[in-house]
Amino acid sequence: MRPPLELLGTAGHTGAVTAEQKKSVKHHLKHSFGFSGFKPNQQDIIDASLAGRDLFAALPTGGGKSLCYQLPALVRPGLTVVVSPLIALMKDQVDAARENGLAAAYINSSQDADTARGVWRELSAGKVKLLYVSPERLSGAEFRAALRSFKVAAFAVDEAHCVSEWGHEFRPDYRTLSNLRTEFPDAPIAAFTATATREVQQDVVTQLGLRDPFIVRAGFNRPELRYRVLRKAKAEQQIVNFVAEHPGDPGIVYRSTRKATEQTAEALQRVGVAAEAYHAGLSDDVRSQVQERFVRDGIQVVVATIAFGMGIDKSNVRWILHGDLPKSLEGYYQETGRAGRDGEPADTLLLWGAQDIAIIRRHIENMQVEHEHHAAEERLRQVLRYVESGVCRRTTLLSHFDEHYPGSCGGCDVCLGEIEFDDCTVPAQKLLSAAVRTGEVFGAHHLVDIVTGTATDRVLERGHNELPTFGVGTEHDRQWWLSLARDLESGSYLLRRESEGGRPGGFMLSSKGRLLLRGKESFAAARRADSGPAAKTSSAAKTARGVQAGSAAAQTAAAAQAALRPDQEELFRCLKGLRKKIAGERGVPPYVVFSDKTLKVMTRNRPTDPSALLRCHGVGDRKLEAYGARFLDAIRGFLASGECGEKE
């Protein structure tokens, strides 16, 4: 089991997990959820929860956060209240819990009075173990007073990064959750998120009043995701080409404006793709309908602004495409993380261009609050380092969360050999020399002014126009030099000094940078090998190049991406059709019945009796009883005739 990056505290600090509880946990893990073992860190978190600890858990998307509060809710007496950010998703979350045999319910403004009263009656009768509510509902003093009449055993705060104003999806109503500590002093609080810097983590702990919390920061790496970055040529056509390479696979296209979402959705519709736009300018009913159709496999693609996706449990999203430059790496990580939640391979592509940078910079210039202005500038710098760098994408992305990754991942365009490099040793030495000759205190813009021979007031005031490095880089334009500076920073040749007031400091050379300056190292900068709008390289060829590079990680990634055999693909399609039919009958999303991962296990194992089906990942007693017979009939029928026993 992969250890967490950081695990603070011992799970048994507040109380002890009894032998009976441990036995119950093991029983429910298999028979309620259909899992034979835990994912990394889950058992430590569950033990801490059952021991009565407050906890903060940062787990990657697909890391099994929901199990970490649902399983303890089954084992402990009393009610567990789950704070969930989006009303539109609560029904699906509750349906999924009920399919696993959990006594779950929700209360929100979408319910009529009779339905809400029914939930309150079930709560009074002690029939609910897991109650989902929104932060807006929980912010009401009257609602919290009503909750106090029940035995609230614990709180679980999902998407906890929304508590922090330093996070990318800050929600003011999440701040009111600080009342839980004072009004429910005996109920432990568990905070869960898939994306949190250490600054956000500390803010969440402080705002929620977590007492000596058990803290888990798991590795943020998503090995099932493939990361690619392309400069924009004809963005709309690039998007259409990418979607065409994933026929029938569900995916999300993120665009930065409402107009762009609608234009892209129309472009996809013109080529026969079932796509719909989603943005804040649409009515609540329309947005809800689009989301429901996507979650229930009614449409293939949603083209959306960042308003779409938070908390979505759809496990079979196979790709994410950013049609514009994201505003932060944290947001980008969260959005790409909505693909591959089932652990199966998924693709991501980010398109960007100079116009994206200009639009974001204009937005930053309009910010009136100084610290927000500086923070936005730093977020843009981080994103540009990511897209322009020739360093392994995972190395750059994970370093944002203070996680070291050595590179050679075998699952990004850099490591798969899709990026070409130019020898930039001499230009890099010119920039490093300018940094040293000016005392290693200036940022990229001033250093670029020097090497490009730009006589700004600041350059003239300091006499930097007299330096030997003044004007030595006129063969390249300003943007080229700024990109080179970001490459040197990404490669840790240049390090930023700390400064006061939240503003980024100037550059200083690292030990690597000094070796490069003295000619002891060489430096290559990335140059896109396939910058044309229609340039493509087959996935097989890309993977082969990664394997030929001798990277063990590349070989592992290639093996993980092995496709089903043709005969298996046909059975998989049959089982997906049956799953969709059953989901429609039960009024739940298809992934709630079984995930793609579970269907692939069935496809490979071909179980023909209940005991064999129960051994498949994701099949528990409740689901075996509910619809196991129909899946067994389908598999037996396929084995006998090559066709499904029951078709959609």
Give per-residue pLDDT as tens, 312-328. 678 889 999 999 999 99
pLDDT at 499: 63
Higher pLDDT, 519 or 288: 519
Higher pLDDT, 372 or 625: 625
Q: Could you give the angle at which helices 87-99 and 284-295 cross, rounded to 10 degrees?
A: 30
Residues 6+ apart with CB under 8 A from 430: 451, 469, 472, 473
CATH classification of 566-641, choosing from 3.40.50.300, 1.20.1250.20, 3.40.50.360, 1.10.150.80?
Answer: 1.10.150.80
Evaluated on CA atoms 141, 147, 153, 159, the torsion sign reads: negative
Spatial separation of the C-alpha atoms in residues 45 and 53, rounded to whole Å: 9
Tokens of 575: 């089982």
Higher pLDDT, 122 or 334: 122
Percentage of the chain exceeding pLDDT 90: 55
Q: What is residue 254's three-state secondary structure?
A: strand
Could you tell me which residues are beta bridge partners of residue 80?
130, 154
The amino acid at 370: E
- On whether the CB atoms of residues 278 and 308 are closer than 8 A, the answer is yes
Whether residue 299 has pLDDT greater than 90: yes
Q: What is residue 76's three-state secondary structure?
A: coil
pLDDT at 556: 38
How many helices and strands in the chain, by DSSP H and E?
Answer: 30, 18
Tokens of 539: 């996935």
pLDDT at 75: 94
Mean pLDDT, rounded, of the chain: 86
Tokens of 182: 């004072």
pLDDT at 223: 92
Tell me the per-residue pLDDT of 185-196, one tens digit each, with 9 for 90 and over: 999 999 999 887
Residues 6+ apart with CB under 8 A from 407: 391, 392, 394, 395, 415
- Over residues 29-43, the mean pLDDT reads 91
Could you tell me which residues are beta bridge partners of residue 193?
58
Whether residue 580 has pLDDT greater than 50: yes
Q: How confident is the model at residue 174 (pLDDT cuts 50, 70, 90)?
A: confident
3-state secondary structure 426-440: HHHHHHHHHHHHCCC
- On whether the CB atoms of residues 217 and 6 are closer than 8 A, the answer is yes
Distance of CA 101 to the CA centre of its chain: 28
CATH classification of 6-217, choosing from 3.30.70.2740, 2.30.40.10, 3.40.50.300, 3.40.50.720?
Answer: 3.40.50.300
Spatial separation of the C-alpha atoms in residues 122 and 553, rounded to whole Å: 51
Q: How confident is the model at residue 501 (pLDDT cuts 50, 70, 90)?
A: low
Spatial separation of the C-alpha atoms in residues 503 and 121, rounded to whole Å: 54
- Over residues 30-49, the mean pLDDT reads 93
Tell me the per-residue pLDDT of 422-473, one tens digit each, with 9 for 90 and over: 889 999 999 999 999 999 999 999 999 999 999 999 999 999 999 999 999 9
Closest alpha carbon to 321 in 226, 407, 415: 226
Tokens of 468: 């030997």
Tell me the domain boundaries of the chain. Answer: 6-217, 225-417, 421-528, 566-641
- On whether the CB atoms of residues 62 and 343 are closer than 8 A, the answer is yes
Spatial separation of the C-alpha atoms in residues 19 and 360, rounded to whole Å: 56
Tell me the per-residue pLDDT of 45-86, one tens digit each, with 9 for 90 and over: 999 999 999 999 998 877 788 999 999 999 999 999 999 887
What values do phi and psi take at 421, rounded to 5? Answer: -125, 145
Higher pLDDT, 9 or 126: 126
Same fold, 225-417 and 566-641: no
The amino acid at 566: P
Tell me the per-residue pLDDT of 523-564, one tens digit each, with 9 for 90 and over: 887 764 433 333 333 333 333 333 333 333 433 344 344 478
Spatial separation of the C-alpha atoms in residues 216 and 196, rounded to whole Å: 11
Tokens of 538: 């087959």
Higher pLDDT, 617 or 563: 617
Higher pLDDT, 399 or 10: 399
3-state secondary structure 215-240: EEECCCCCCCEEEEEEECCCHHHHHH
Spatial separation of the C-alpha atoms in residues 416 and 319, rounded to whole Å: 18
Spatial separation of the C-alpha atoms in residues 185 and 496, rounded to whole Å: 43
365: buried, middle or exposed (CB in 10 Å: 19+, 13-18, 0-12)? exposed
Higher pLDDT, 390 or 493: 493
Whether residue 2 has pLDDT greater than 50: no
CATH classification of 421-528, choosing from 1.10.10.10, 1.10.3720.10, 3.30.1330.40, 3.40.190.10?
Answer: 1.10.10.10
pLDDT at 553: 41
Evaluated on CA atoms 217, 223, 224, 225, the torsion sign reads: positive
- Over residues 224-233, the mean pLDDT reads 92
Spatial separation of the C-alpha atoms in residues 478 and 380, rounded to whole Å: 17
Spatial separation of the C-alpha atoms in residues 601 and 582, rounded to whole Å: 19
DSSP state of 526: E
Spatial separation of the C-alpha atoms in residues 389 and 639, rounded to whole Å: 51
Closest alpha carbon to 415 in 551, 559, 564: 551
Closest alpha carbon to 55 in 167, 187, 151: 187
pLDDT at 206: 94
Q: How confident is the model at residue 8 (pLDDT cuts 50, 70, 90)?
A: low
Q: How confident is the model at residue 309 (pLDDT cuts 50, 70, 90)?
A: low
What values do phi and psi take at 186, rounded to 5? Answer: -95, -5
Q: How confident is the model at residue 6 (pLDDT cuts 50, 70, 90)?
A: low
Whether residue 158 has pLDDT greater than 80: yes
Closest alpha carbon to 341 in 65, 57, 641, 27: 65
Q: Between the CA atoms of 377, 381, 383 and 387, what dihedral angle is there, to the nearest 10 degrees?
A: 150
637-642, long-range: CB < 8 A, 24+ apart: 638/570, 638/571, 638/574, 639/606, 639/608, 642/570
225-417: in CATH 3.40.50.300: yes
| Maximum alpha-carbon separation in the chain | 86
Tokens of 200: 């956000």
pLDDT at 7: 58
pLDDT at 500: 58
Residue 387: CB atoms within 10 Å: 23
Tokens of 552: 């063990």
Q: How confident is the model at residue 365 (pLDDT cuts 50, 70, 90)?
A: confident
Spatial separation of the C-alpha atoms in residues 376 and 391, rounded to whole Å: 23
The top-scoring range by mean pLDDT among 334-338, 419-423, 499-503 is: 334-338
- On whether the CB atoms of residues 647 and 570 are closer than 8 A, the answer is no
pLDDT at 537: 34
